Structure 1
Amino acid sequence: MRTRQPTITLDDQPIPVRAKLAAAWTSLMFLYAYVDILNFFTPGVVDDILAGRVFEFALSQTFSTTALALMAIPILMVVLSMTLPARVNRITNLVVASLYVPVTAFNAVGESWLYFYGLGIALELILLALILRYAWTWPRTASSATMVTSPDRDTVRAPQQA
Structure 2
Amino acid sequence: MKVAPLSDIKLHVRFKLSALWASLMFCYIYGDYFGLYVPGQLQGMLAGAGPVGPVSQGSLSGTALLLAVPGLMAFLSLVVSPRLCRWLNIALGLFYTAVMLVTMPGAWWFYITLGMIEVVLSLLIVAYAWRWPRGGPISD
TM-score (norm 1): 0.79
Matched residue, 2:36 = 40
Work out the CA distance in 1 between the residues paired with 2:105 and 2:50.
Answer: 13
Query: Counterpart in 1 of 2:134?
Result: 140
How far is the alpha carbon of 1:143 from its aligned partner?
6.0
Tell me the matched-pair count: 138
* Structure 1 residue 141, shift from structure 2 partner: 1.1
Match of 2:119 in 1: 125
Name 2:10's counterpart in structure 1.
14
Superposition TM-score, scaled by structure 2 size: 0.90
The structure with higher relative contact order (CA 8 Å, sep 6+) is: 2
* Deviating 4+ runs (over 2 angstroms): none
Q: Percent identity?
A: 35
Distance 1:7 1:27 in 2: 33
Show structure 1 runs of 5+ residues with no match. 145-162
Residues of 2 paired with 1:56 and 1:71: CA distance?
A: 14
Aligned to 1:160: none
Unaligned runs of 5+ in 2: none
Q: CA RMSD in A?
A: 1.7
Bigger helix share:
2
- 2:92 maps to 96
Determine which structure has more spread, i.e. the larger CA radius of gyration: 1
